[in-house]
Structure 1
Amino acid sequence: MSVMPRSPVARQPRRAAMSEFEDRLRRELKGEVAFDAGSRGRYATDASIYQIMPLGVVVPRNQQDLSLALEVARDFGAPVLPRGGGTSQCGQTVNEALVIDTSRWLTGIGELDVEARTVSVEPGVVLDHLNAWLKPHGLWFPVDVSTSAQCTLGGMAGNNSCGSRSIRYGNMVHNVLGLEATLADGREAVFGRFDEIAPGSALAGLADSVAAIMQREAAAIREHYPQVLRRVGGYNLDLFDCRNPIPYDAEGRANFAHLLIGSEGTLAFTRKLTLKLSPLPVHKVLGVVNFPTFYQAMDMTQHIVELGPAAVELVDRTMIELALENPAFRPTVEKSLIGRPDAMLLVEFAGESLDSQLHQLKALETLMGDLGLPGSVVGLESGAEQSALWNVRKAGLNIMMSMKGDGKPVSFIEDCAVPLEHLAEYTEQLTDVFHRHGTEGTWYAHASVGTLHVRPILDMRRGGATKMRAIAEEASELVRRYKGAYSGEHGDGICRGEWVAWQFGAQLDAAFGEIKRLFDPDNRFNPNKIVDTPKMDDARLFRFPADHQILAVATELDWSAWDVTRDPLSGELGGPGSGGDPANGLAKAVEMCNNNGHCRKFDAGTMCPSYRISRDERHLTRGRANTLRLVLSGKIGDRGLASDEVAETLDLCVSCKGCKRDCPTGVDMAKFKIEARAARVKARGLGWRDRLVSELPRYAPWMRHVGRLAARVENVSWLGGRAKRWLGFAEARSLPIFAGDYLRTTRRAARDEAPRSGSPPVAEVVLFVDTFNNYFEGDNAAAARRVLEAAGYRVHFNILEGERPLCCGRTYLAAGRVDRARQEAQRTLETLMPYVERGVKIVGLEPSCLLTLRDEFLHYGLGDEATRLADAAMLFEEFLVAEKQAGRLKLELAPLAVGRAKVHGHCHQKAFDAFTPVTTVLGWIPELKVEAIASSCCGMAGSFGYEAEHLDASRQMAELSLLPAVREADEDTWIVADGTSCRHQILDGAGREALHVARVLAAALPVHTN
């Protein structure tokens, strides 16, 4: 596929030379070299609507590797494409080139000068990582883009990124002092102020030529460059324009480095950046203004900015509603609402004095009253509350993309910037344009500088490209009428590249071409960006071209809920395809990933543990989704979900469900893995280890008789090691010991008769004792029963006389045996429904088991009963908290012998927003100080941590934060973890016993209740 339909294609290695090209890279580089279809497919997309298969991928280990990769590419005439987080929204980081990914190893930070407020970084440094590193010094890099958790400084420089607070701090170009780069001919050069370029240096000739072009085109530059802060199109040829002092330093001297800022990797390959830092604001307050109409929000922004805020950010009604549907965002958004606003503006004041910021907040309230909207401001002074709301705003793109169905908000005109006095009129007229084309737009972002992110909802499979072109034509006329910038923040790339000539005129467009040829005469650096770009609607470049197909695959789970359509104007789901084909639904569920890379973040959330230890795109939620999408569309592999490419990319997925919660579009990789495992089992059969693990619930009743014998065998090193090796288990990992059968030994509970419908309501509960807490750790079930009975509940159990205990089927799902899991679900439904019909709650101890009733049970096609059971299923702590809130819980607790507890949350608890109740119930124990460990997945993940090939990965995940935090705890601190696997990992890795919450509460029961 060519990416240069309007100009000669950059010289490519001949097909016969591709193998030699790859071989030489492998021989000479220490880093990773990947030319396989799966790896190339994972780098074929960014956060845009485009997809172009690269020649190959290189992940350089160090600067020497980078030099070697550029040298080899130059020798073979191969185009090169720099890539960081891959978050670009216009197609800047996709091309038919050798992709050089700097984000894994080129992440050095150094040369910090606190007094001068400067720092040097390599291009792969992530913005949030840099700011965390700078925070102890009271400094930060203030170009705070919404993708700060995953974007790299090199990518930000390439796009001339802006951020929410650009009204105070400016864009990337205002905050870069210099850079080091490799030129197309291999020479290394240091870009800085023009007046400091040494005569005869690598840059001297280039600088003179560029200066001559700028001076020659001075009149055209003054005429055509938009006079707005947010202008990132083309090249920065206004370096010498005194009317636009932005590119100048404090002494008024122009900087040659600024030509490369926003150049999208087309002129040189950046190796290091020198950044200008700012003092961290000491105090911040946030005023959330609620507007009855969107027009009022836009019209009043021009008055709000007169108060001197650090940021004014828009959140429209669509984004508010979608955020309220996300359990991670709902509580935060609800605190900021006054009624049902059509839009909100987040107005931040920041500085040295809290009194001054509170005075500004009061001034905002007064202003809104003067403008006719008294009582419309919610003030947030708490740093935690402000941070939570900013996180919602930062997730704006992902929240918008969480819409189900083929129609998605499409990025192509979202960065148009207009002067504030025209903002209300511009947005109103653009909304009319959307309506004329039968769609609606979603609005959010930088109201303070007149750059609103707006994405009309289009179905790119069915006529979306035609509408995109028509809307772009009309939007451009509006931008020109209001003297704005067509490209205001996210760069040109593919979707706005063809508009460079429209914005700047033919004369300056020709000058851009001249600049490109000066720097890159062979057109090898990210060709066809900014200069000689393809059409924005070139169908060959779309991720979903007109001939896009979805393979017919037999799914085991019901995915039909994703096979829906949405009316672009009303937002209502329905119409052809709604609730339709499960295979289409599976593909569309995969396509919910918008490639924004939120899964690359490294904060305290759970997503994505395998990426955290590997930094490998293959082991990332986004990388996995791209692989699955390409497989399901027949682009890679020939065996569908059973292919080796799918098995490889899912190998380190621990099914933690962190993505289900932390991914704003709700990509659930754990559920995809079930389908993939099922397909592979059908194609290749089931191994002994998987069969042994999956059948655990069936043979466990008999293993209690031989549990001690098995433990003795394991303790004989040569015999236990041989058995583990034969089964594929890690020799260094101890195996669980069958300790009994709690349910069968509790004869009174086992003899309970099934309840009859219509029985009079009593204080009762079903304790769902899972396989692990029944056969391995019965003390947990016993403790839970004591607590529930102490609180006045009659406890029923998930077993009937003469039958095997009910099971969630989790072990079957992990092995891809969905048919067996469905059978267990059916049996569970039939037994528990009489309780559910009486309003009795089903309470579980093991998060992964109980929450299966609330998740996978709903995807077996079992009808309304499954939904009713899911509504009745609660974790032990959730039940206690709900009963207390309802005024029904009477639980007396006494102080413990210990005064502190450190708590690790199971991944599934976090995914289902069920971890807070754990710390809540522990907080009921008098004098106990409770601390939640900021941990991701423990790494054990069911059988994953026992498997020989996964032992190292399992331990690395645990060492990220969990085990170090456990080791820091003194002997007077209890370690608490609800997950069976988590407790085993903690015992193996730190030598500490971790307790289920039920045991802690039982220990706190007064003596007379035990």
Structure 2
Amino acid sequence: MTSLTDKTSSPDARVKPVTELAARLARELEGEVLFDQASRGRYSTDASIYQVTPVGVVIPRHQQDLTAALEIARDARVPILARGAGTSQCGQTVGEALVIDTTRWLKEIVEFDPEARTVVVEPGIVLDHLNAWLKPHGLWYPVDVSTSAQCTLGGMTGNNSCGSRSIRYGNMVHNVLGVDAWLADGSEGQFGFVDALPERGPVRELADRVKAIADGVAPEIREHFPKVLRRVGGYNLDLFDCQNPRPYDPEGRANLAHLLVGSEGTLGVSRRITLRLSPLPEHKVLGVVNFPTFYQAMDLTQHIVTLDPTAVELVDRTMIDLSLENPAFRPVIEKALIGRPQAVLLVEFAGQDREAQLASLARLSELMADLGLPDSVVEMPAPAEQKALWNVRKAGLNIMMSMKGDGKPVSFIEDCAVPLEHLAEYTDRLTEVFHRYGTEGTWYAHASVGTLHVRPILDMRRDGAEKMREIAEQASALVREYKGAYSGEHGDGLCRGEWVAWQFGETLNDAFRAVKGAFDPENRLNPGKIVDTPRMDDDRYFRFPKAYRRIPLAPVFDWSGWNVTRDPLTGEQGEPGSAGDPTHGLAMAVEMCNNNGHCRKFDAGTMCPSYRITRDEQHLTRGRANTLRLVLSGQLGEAGLASDEVKEALDLCVSCKGCKRDCPTGVDMAKFKIEARTARARARGLSLRDRLVGEMPRYAPWASRFAGLVNGVERVPVLARAIKRTLGLAPQRSLPAFRGNFLAEPHESPALASREVLLFVDTFNNYQEGDNARAARRVLEAAGYRVHLNARPGQRPLCCGRTYLSSGQFDKARLEARRTLDHLMPHVKRGVAIVGLEPSCLLTLRDEFLQYGFGKEAEALSRSAFLFEEFLVRARDAGELPLELKALPQRRAMLHGHCHQKAFDALRPVETVLSWIPDLEVETIESSCCGMAGSFGYEVEHYDASLAMAELSLLPAIREAGDDAVLVADGTSCRHQIQDGSGREAVHVARLLEQALA
């Protein structure tokens, strides 16, 4: 992509050769130095529509590294771009500069004063991590942005972030007390209250210069600075306006640190940030107001805020519908709806007195009745249901971006702020503008402060840029008419930089330029932002410029479900886009990633286990998706999915499918990995280990027949080591043991049973752990079912083909799927449920089978396929499960969920089934992937990563469980990892139920 420095005064002509710069950085820093094309590509985008390739990337290990990197860059006259989580939506964190990524190591809490309610942090610390640390002290940092699970305090400071509860707590600028920063000349400055600054020194000189600039434009400050709370454009020069002070501090004292807040890294590079904390509210209640029209929701917000809520957040009909399509969000959003509202407002009250909050909730219902909407409020006083709904709201951006097709909601006017009395009219008129250009907008977020996130649906590959310009100009006219702020939350960056002069006028824009010159005379700190910026629609900086192309390739899966067109106004799906282009659907699926970085979260869920142990952008769902996008568009060469860059990016992907569920846009990296492994295998061939893994279902009968000989290998250490070394298996792992052939045993089910079921016994539970299959059959028969099996005498058992998929042998996997489908369809047509024990195998019937091109037969099978526990819960709910269970000797169970169970929301049925066992206390371990992941944990190069994943939470929880707890895990790999990592046995739920049969 084109250099930003082409359009600035940055002295790029004097930049030393990049190779020399990279070599010196690598020589003098302990942290990582990344100058390869793929790494630079992964850092070329953020959550905006832009892409600019950086000079290189530095990940400093400590403050000394940061200091050295800045000094080396200064000597080389290379621009600097400090970056946090890369979640910026306006292009603040992309540029042709040396990117400094602080998120891996510069994330310490430096000082804490609970009495003064202050904390000093390094810039790379994540907001949720800070608040988790503060919680035992009864304090929190209240600028609660929706990206709190991944955004950093350094990024939030640079952006002047706001959050859902700014109506109560304000923005970053109201909650930052000081910033220690490196300046462009290499000096360190401690920025704080102006009246407490030293009488001499660089910071005092800067304060005096900036005050002189501000005094010179004081009338313009009072005239042109927006009077709404949400205003984050330009520089905060009004901090010096003592005649009309903004409430940045309760004391009313000017604080020079507030000039750095919102400066987008253009004035300094933060080392440490001092934050003002707030007492953590002891009680919260939530009222969800359902509105029959969107206009009413906007019009009545001004009345709702008079009740003094801590938040009033909008969720519109589009977001409701998209949430209902997401299996993780559907049950949550359904509880909040009354009928079919066109919008809902989430109204929160919080404080130390629960009765007072409940009274406020009651007043909300009374107010809505007075306003003509009785019985419109769903009350949620319980913390769990509040948290679940807030998680849906916080995922709003990603939910909006889950729309399939070329048209996407585009961010460029999404945080204009207008006074509440004009909100309804503003949204109504802006909707008319959208319709004028044949599109619709998606609305959500901060109704309480008049800042609604709205993204018109545009196709940036076609005419989107032209429409963006026209819509922006008309939106800006509305903002000016209503005396609002054009940039109300997400900053300026590349998207709104050119509008700073429009918002503030040329005089103030020149003042901003003077401030930049005082701090950074050579324009090396994030050049091209806030002042002297490019046009928002400069095609050279777009992620999808007009010259964007896709290299030709033939995907193995059917990706036509992503190759759609959709009418933005009606939502109706049209003919497939780019007809005849087999690459298009796959590329569209990859491009579903909007770079928002939700995959960087550590708080809960499965995604993304490899990132959790490495903190490396390359091993992150977003990083992998960016790599794939760059490859598919030819930006990393023409080798396509078989390239080394793709192999390296996907190397630690354990195909957990956590992203399929946890990523609100539904990026399914496991399926992309199948495409890549297949392409690589076809281009480079298969290793012996690949063949051994893939062909396991075929040789398992022979290995089982000669189990004594096969299993005896482990009893001869020299032989075992030699075999493992030859195959590339970790010497610490024991080879899987074979134990009989369950499907070859004689089976007789009750002939008089009125109900039928087919037990789909996979390779692992057939040849290695047959006790699980025997237990499942016995439980089903005890419940009155006639049990069929997935094999006929003399025939090879059916197989899902998963081992072939994981080893790059797609064609064999598809043949196995076809054979399985042909065998099962007669049962499916008779209404017989297909019930499986191993999550990764059974759920293949519900997932990959649908993309083989088998059409309606695969869809019918997917509707009939259930995991063992899912089937039992379904049967019991239908009154068809007369199971009598007794208490077990164990009174406590620790449950670890298989990743695919979590991805398909199939873990709750396991918890439900276990709750049927009398007197059994069940605790679900909050864990990500166990790390074994089929053959992954056996591979010598992945052994350490495998154990590191297990040590994140699973193995520590098991060690603390005590010997009295029974360990439960449905996944074969999970049970092996638990055995190897803790020395303890975990059992399948079927075996527990068998023990509990009365």
TM-score class, shorter-chain normalisation, is over 0.9
The answer for the alignment partner of 1:355 in structure 2 is 355
Return the letter of the residue paired with 2:413: I
1:716 aligned onto 2:716: yes
Q: CA-to-partner distance for each residue in 1:378-400, whole Å, 9 max, x for gaps?
A: 00011000000000000000000
Contact 1:417 1:485 in 2 (8 A): yes
Q: After superposition, what is the alpha-carbon deviation per residue over 1:668-688, rounded to whole angstroms, capped at 9, x for unaligned?
A: 000000000000000100000
| 1:804 alignment partner in structure 2 | 796
Give structure 1 stretches of 5+ with no counterpart: 754-759
Looking at structure 1, the residues matched to 948 and 61 of structure 2 have their Cα atoms a distance apart, in angstroms, of 20
In the TM superposition, 1:366-405 aligns within 5 A as: 366-405=366-405
Aligned pair in 2 of structure 1 residues 4, 642: CA closer, same or farther (>3 Å)?
closer
Does structure 2 retain, via aligned residues, the 8 Å contact 1:562–1:579? no
Task: State whether structure 2 residue 743 is matched by structure 1 residue 743.
Answer: yes
Pairing of 1:831-842 with structure 2 (within 5 A): 831-842=823-834
Structure 2 CA distance for partners of 1:578 and 1:307, relative to 1, 3 Å: farther
Give the distance between the partners of 2:499 and 2:707, measured in 1 at CA: 72
| Partner of residue 960, structure 1 | 952
- Aligned residue runs from structure 1 range 739-888, under 5 A: 739-748=739-748, 762-888=754-880
Partner of 1:894: 886
Q: 1:559 to 1:7 in 2, by over 3 A?
A: closer
Equivalences for residues 450-489 of structure 1 within 5 A? 450-489=450-489
How far does residue 744 in structure 1 lie from its aligned partner after superposition? 0.4
- Relative distance call for 1:649 and 1:840 in structure 2 (3 A) is same
SS at match of 1:203: helix
1:2-17 equivalences under 5 Å are 2-4=2-4, 7-12=7-12, 17=17
1:767-817 Cα shifts (integer Å, max 9, x gaps): 000000000000000000000000000000000121000000000000111
Find the counterpart in structure 1 of residue 917 from structure 2.
925
Cα distance per residue 1:14-34 (max 9 Å; x no partner): 676111100000000000001
Following the alignment from structure 1 to structure 2, what is the Cα–Cα distance between the partners of residues 985 and 14? 55
1:934–1:763: structure 2 CA closer, same or farther, 3 Å change rule? same
In 1, Cα distance between equivalents of 2:439 and 2:810? 40
Q: How does 1:677-756 map to 2 (within 5 A)?
A: 677-748=677-748
**2:325 aligned with 1:333, yes or no?**
no
Contact (CA 8 Å) 2:7, 2:534: kept in 1 or not? no
What's the CA shift string for 1:702-736, capped at 9, x where partnerless? 00122222222222222211110111000001111
* 1:551-588 deviation line (CA, Å, top 9, x unaligned): 11111111111111111111111135288643110000
Partner of 1:174: 174
CA distance in structure 2 between the partners assigned to 1:509 and 1:107 by the alignment: 34
Question: Given that residues 5 and 534 in structure 1 are in contact (C-alpha distance below 8 angstroms), is that contact kept between their aligned partners in structure 2?
Answer: no
Alignment of 1:35-54 (within 5 A): 35-54=35-54
For residues 465 and 947 of structure 1, the distance between their equivalents in structure 2, rounded to whole angstroms, comes to 48
Does the 8 A contact of 2:417 with 2:486 survive in 1? yes
Asked if the contact 2:754–2:784 (Cα under 8 Å) also holds between the matched residues in 1, the reply is no
> Does the CA contact (< 8 Å) of 2:643 and 2:680 recur in 1?
yes
TM-score, length of structure 2 as denominator length: 0.99
Task: Describe the SS at the equivalent of 1:571.
Answer: coil
SS of the residue corresponding to residue 888 of structure 1 reads coil
Q: Deviations over 1:455-504 (max 9, x none)?
A: 00000011000000000000000000000000000000011000000000
Amino acid of the structure 1 residue aligned with 2:711: A
* Separation (CA, whole Å) in 2 of partners of 1:106 and 1:49: 28
What is the distance in 2 between the residues matched to 1:104 and 1:8? 31
| AA partner of residue 905 (structure 2) | D
Q: Report the Cα offset of residue 243 of structure 1.
A: 6.0
**1:990 maps to 2:993:** no
Partners in 1 of 2:14 and 2:106 — Cα distance?
30
In the TM superposition, 1:149-164 aligns within 5 A as 149-164=149-164
| RMSD of aligned alpha carbons | 1.4
The answer to whether the 8 A contact 1:365-1:377 is kept is yes
What's the counterpart of residue 553 of structure 1?
Answer: 553
Counterpart contact for 1:564–1:579, Cα < 8 Å: no
SS in 2 for 1:444: strand
- Partner Cα separation in structure 1 for residue 485 and residue 15 of structure 2: 42
Gaps of 5+ in 2: none
Residues 1:742 and 1:587: Cα distance change in structure 2 (over 3 Å): same
Cα deviation, residue 903, structure 1: 0.3
Q: Which residue of 1 aligns with 2:935?
A: 943
TM-superposed deviation, 1:745: 1.8
2:99 match: secondary structure: strand
Listed as ranges, the matches of 1:636-675 within 5 Å are 636-675=636-675
Q: Kindly provide the amino acid, as one letter, of the partner of residue 446 in structure 1.
A: H
Q: Is contact 2:753-2:786 (8 Å) kept?
A: no
1:746 deviates by: 3.0
Cα distance, 1:762 vs structure 2: 3.6
SS, match of residue 796 in structure 1: strand
The one-letter amino acid paired with 1:805 is P
Conservation of the 8 A alpha-carbon contact between 1:600 and 1:608: yes
Q: Distance in 2 between matches of 1:378 and 1:591?
A: 37
- Tell me by how many angstroms 1:622 deviates: 0.1
Q: Which amino acid aligns with 1:814?
A: S
Which of 970, 977, 982 lines up with 2:969 in the alignment?
977
Matches within 5 A, 1:395-544: 395-544=395-544
Measure the CA separation in 2 of the matches of 1:16 and 1:446: 46
- Equivalent pair of 1:178/1:191 in contact (CA under 8 Å): yes
Q: Distance in 2 between matches of 1:652 and 1:867?
A: 31
Which residue of 2 is the match for residue 630 of structure 1?
Answer: 630
Following superposition, the deviation at residue 761 of structure 1 comes to 10
Asked if structure 2 preserves the Cα contact closer than 8 Å seen for 1:48 and 1:89, the reply is: yes
> 2: distance between equivalents of 1:2 and 1:209?
35
Q: Indicate how the Cα distance of structure 1 residues 578 and 886 shifts in structure 2: closer, same or farther if over 3 A, else same.
A: farther
In structure 2, distance between residues paired with 1:59 and 1:715: 46
CA shift at 1:862, angstroms? 1.2
Does the CA contact (< 8 Å) of 1:176 and 1:276 recur in 2? yes
Q: Which residue in 2 is equivalent to 1:757?
A: none
Is 1:610 equivalent to 2:607 in the alignment? Answer: no
What is the CA distance between 1:748 and its match in structure 2?
4.5
Give the AA of the match of 1:791: A
What SS does the corresponding residue of 2:505 show, helix, strand or coil?
helix
Moved more, 814-823 or 15-24: 15-24
Aligned equivalents of 1:258, 1:376: Cα separation in 2: 42
Q: How many residues align?
A: 998
Partners of 1:653 and 1:637 lie apart in 2 by 22
**1:63-102 pair list within 5 angstroms:** 63-102=63-102
Q: Which residue identity does 2:877 align to in structure 1? A: Q
Indicate yes or no: 2:966 matched with 1:1003. Answer: no
Partners in 2 of 1:276 and 1:246 — Cα distance? 17
Write out per-residue CA displacement over residues 29-64 of structure 1, whole angstroms, 9 at most, x where no aligned residue. 000001111100100000000000000000000000
C-alpha separation in 1, matches of 2:707 and 2:9: 69
Secondary structure of the corresponding residue to residue 805 of structure 2? helix
Task: Please give the alpha-carbon distance, in whole angstroms, between the structure 2 residues aligned to 1:243 and 1:45.
Answer: 42
Aligned residue type for 1:928: L
In 1, distance between residues paired with 2:705 and 2:137?
62
Q: Could you tell me how far apart the structure 1 residues matched to 2:365 and 2:398 are?
A: 31
**Secondary structure at 1:495 match in 2:** helix
Sequence identity percentage: 71
> Partner of 2:286: helix, strand, or coil?
strand
